[in-house]
A and B are shown apart, each in its own frame.
Chain A
Amino acid sequence: MRSLSHIWFIMLKDLKLFSRDRMALAFFILFPFMFIVLFNFLLANVGSEDERLALHVVTQEAQGGLSYQILGAMETGNVSELEPGDPEIIWDRDYQEARQAVEDGELDGFVAFPDNFSESIFSGEGTEIEVVADAGATYTVAALNGLARSIATRIGSTQVAARAAVELMIGQGLLDPWDQVAIDEVIQGIISGQEAVATEEPFIGFETQKVGEVEPENAANFVIPGYLVMFVFFAAALGAEVIVRERQNHTLERLLASSVRRESILGGVFAGSAAKGLIQIAIFWVVGILAFNVDLGLSPAAVIILSILMVIMSSAFAIMLAAVVRTQRSAGSLAVLVALVLAPLGGCWWPLFVTPTWMQFLAKFTPHGWANTGFNKLMLFGAEFGDVVPEMLALVGFAVLFAVIGVWRFRTGAE
């Protein structure tokens, strides 16, 4: 009971000390919001990009070739007749012009048929469809590749049908393998059949059901969690400096002499740091909801629990840092160093899901990575409570690790 009251008083004392430093208080609360406002500005329209894809196609063949038939069938006549999500296919007439447009940055890319396309198909030699694109136009490259593969598939299947028919008829003795004219007739027959089929409904078709419009993603839904994670940790880590200062100026030792146990000192210091963090997250979420319309997702409770676990982990880190360093300046420098490395690595400055797989893997070694993943799942991707239990457990694990090291190494200065 006495230990609890000691913890309580140490916590209150820390909060009081903190509240006296007006400038630190302002930076502790205002500073993060300046970045949140800035990034809300910067990322305001993220997620609202919903323009219909426009894919350019071109052929190098002479007029009348097979590619002309294909492009004629693909080209979009009337955009208003397209289903939602269907791309607009634009037939550019000049290959060199299209290529120049890509080089000049006016066009992201196009699909091109080679000049010997028909010849190669009819002779059965095989050919290549080219996707020409700007190096940085990732989305366009993917879309054009999809289109090119569809075209390739259709042509390939026509060839399969033709070859199958020819092979079977030759096998049955219905066709002379040396009679090229007859073979060509069979192939033409298949292709004509393919053209007829092409106008019918495909075997596996698509129906589009529109359930609403694409609304711009509220940038605050990923900006606020990222900066919450960064600044809660930052503030707690800098709090290690205060703990070291108390060790250096012997106030911790004085507490020991007045029958306060070492565990109570640890508990009180931890509680003080955690209390500051809880105030910080409360402000973040209240302002986030009221001023930035943050959506806490399907499970607000999970968001709150994740935030609290972040605070607990950060406070444990502060104890550990205070335990392993000797001077105030080291504590301050290390706090800034660790906070600034873990923030980008853990997805505080940019969402983890835009980074390569190996970076997402590295982020798993940081508490920030787990916290941000949890917040993104809950607030961006509609996850429920159960979906973020692994992230919660990871934060608990980090907290325990830091706490064990901190408690083991913590000195009050008397030792």
Chain B
Amino acid sequence: MIRPLLVALLQVRIYLQDKGDLAFSLLLPIAIFALTYGAFGGQTLFHGTAHVVNEDQGGDYSARLIQRLEEVDNLDVDLLSASKADAKLDRADLLMVLYIPVGFSDRLASGEQVQLVFKQRGNGGDEGQIVASIVGSVVDRMAQEFQVQGQVNEYLSGSGISQEQIDITVQRLLEGERESPAVMVKEETVGDSPDPVNEFLPGIITMFVLFAITLTARALVEERKKGTLERLLTTRLSVGQLFTGKFLVNLSRGFIQTLILLLLSYAVFQMFTPLSFVESLIIAIIFIAAVSALGLIIGSVARTEDQATWIAVFFTMAMVMLGGTFFEIPESGVLSVLSKMSINTYANDAFRTIIVDGGTLADIGLQMGVMAGVAVVGLVLGRAIFKVMPGGR
């Protein structure tokens, strides 16, 4: 057993000295996590676009309406020509467009009622309906201002109060209302926001462990071609011991990588208790063992370094995507069945149970069993097909 350990120790030393390799296996997952956190983490607010056709060019009130829409947070205003908007609606590139008709401002100014037009497909889509509700509230405010003016005028007609006085008073009070509304809207959220750290970190870690180890398959192919594997056999190392050594190399590398990433997570995000940290390490070791075995299979199957790289990349990406790292896999259907073939599914589930749900190792017996099974089967298969030299033993 000493000899395989020596093989493993040498490679681990090389790994720790290789800045490029370290950067790849440590910095890259941190960078990707930061990117994913940035994309989906934090407060998510609605952000929509109001597509508007203003046929009332030069009109005061239409300009005012558009300006008020632009002032709404998280709402972009996209001004289109009528022909372009019609074409986009036709092609379903847009689902809802607000048309401000010709004469909108003139008619409002003369106290007439006007109608804005929503041209839409179906209900306008989810985003369209929200945008319509926001537009509605902005338009409502404008309409109410006219309404108020009209109401007060009507109520005070014949009172001898001059129109100018009425206008000034109404405008002043409307301004005051805008600044300090009589009725405020208060928002209260219930429950926890989805925690991006807990959501994504396990997936990112498993993804990069998988990547790092499967890419070592390339190094194995290189060594086979160069003859360094063969050379090791001249030192009375048996093929079995050599295979064990290579397995231990992958296991050690993966463990070091995971340990550092988990320690960083512990320190930065405080997402563990001491117990859950240890349990996570145990999950990691079993996962890494399974992946190491698979890496050795890839290294045995590939005949060139390019093949090894491609197989590793394909295998890793398939496992990662099916494992629900970035997207939730539906609970039923074809994808759900396919996801059961991804080792990442079990690893991610196990991590989430421990980290997010506060479970214990007893709760993840199935996941651990599957990963351990993959490790054992992978090792047996890998040993059967492992060759030190092309066509040789």
Contacts and interface: CB of A to CB of B under 8 A. Distances in A.
Quick check: do A and B touch in the complex, using CB within 8 A? yes
Interface of A: 21, 23-24, 27-28, 31, 34-35, 38-39, 41-42, 47, 49-53, 84-85, 87, 99, 102-103, 105, 121, 124, 126-136, 138-139, 141-143, 145-157, 159-161, 163-165, 167-169, 171-172, 174, 186, 189-190, 193-194, 197, 201-215, 238, 241, 297-298, 328-330, 332-334, 336-337, 340-341, 344-345, 349-350, 354-356, 358-359, 362, 380-382
Contact of A148 (B91, B119, B185): B185
Task: Pick from B211, B310, B334 the residue with the most CB of A within 10 Å.
Answer: B310
Contacts of B192: 135
Interface of B: 20-21, 23-24, 28, 31-32, 35-36, 38-40, 42, 44-46, 48, 74, 87-96, 108, 113-130, 132-134, 136-137, 139-148, 150-152, 154-156, 159-161, 165-166, 169-170, 173-174, 176-177, 180-194, 211, 215, 218-219, 222, 302, 304-307, 309-311, 313-314, 317-318, 321-322, 326-327, 329, 334-335
24 contacts: A21-B304, A23-B306, A34-B314, A38-B335, A133-B189, A135-B193, A142-B130, A147-B137, A149-B140, A150-B136, A153-B144, A156-B177, A161-B155, A168-B159, A169-B159, A190-B151, A190-B152, A206-B117, A206-B118, A214-B121, A298-B87, A336-B309, A341-B31, A345-B35
Contacts of B176: 160
B122 A214 contact: yes
B182 A155 contact: yes
Contacts of B218: 329, 332
A49 B163 CA distance: 50
A139 B126 contact: yes
A160 B174 contact: yes
A339 B377 CA distance: 32
Given A126-B181, A157-B174, A380-B93, 19 more contacts: A38-B322, A53-B123, A53-B130, A126-B182, A133-B187, A134-B190, A141-B46, A146-B130, A147-B137, A155-B182, A156-B144, A157-B148, A194-B151, A203-B108, A214-B123, A328-B305, A329-B222, A330-B20, A336-B215
B41 to A, nearest CB: 9
A172 B169 CA distance: 13
Given A99-B190, A103-B191, A131-B188, A23 B307 contact: yes
Contact of A333 (B20, B114, B173): B20
Given A103-B191, A214-B125, A157 B120 contact: no
B224 to A, nearest CB: 15
B177 to A, nearest CB: 5
A159 to B, nearest CB: 5
Nearest to A328: B305
B182 A142 contact: no
Nearest to B138: A149
Given A31-B314, A138-B45, A333-B21, A197 B151 contact: yes
Task: Pick from B28, B46, B180, B318 the residue with the most CB of A within 10 Å.
Answer: B46
Q: Say what secondary structure dominates the interface of chain A.
A: helix
A112 B128 CA distance: 24
Given A85-B123, A153-B140, A381 B187 contact: no
A127 to B, nearest CB: 6
Given A85-B118, A204-B116, A164 B170 contact: yes
Given A164-B173, A168-B161, A128 B309 contact: no
Given A53-B129, A131-B185, A172 B124 contact: no
A204 B35 contact: no
A332 B309 contact: yes
Nearest to A379: B93
A205 B113 contact: yes
A190 B318 CA distance: 67
Contacts of B321: 35, 38-39
B195 to A, nearest CB: 10
A211 B21 contact: no
Task: Pick from B128, B311, B327 the residue with the most CB of A within 10 Å.
Answer: B327
A382 B87 contact: yes
Contacts of B121: 210-215
Nearest to B321: A38
B183 A146 contact: no
Contact of A209 (B74, B120, B146): B120
Given A207-B117, A211-B119, A153 B141 contact: yes
A190 B46 contact: no
Contacts of B304: 21, 23
A320 B93 CA distance: 39
Contacts of A174: 159, 161
A168 to B, nearest CB: 5
Given A21-B304, A50-B124, A156-B177, A355 B144 contact: no
Contacts of B317: 35
Contacts of B28: 337, 340-341
Nearest to B95: A214
B269 to A, nearest CB: 19
Contacts of B191: 102-103, 105, 134-136
A139 B130 contact: yes
Nearest to A196: B151
B344 to A, nearest CB: 14
Contacts of A131: 185-188
A381 B93 contact: yes
A143 B190 contact: no
B114 A204 contact: yes
Contacts of A124: 182
A212 B151 contact: no
A356 B133 contact: no
Contact of B126 (A49, A329, A341): A49
Contacts of A141: 46, 187, 189
Nearest to A31: B314
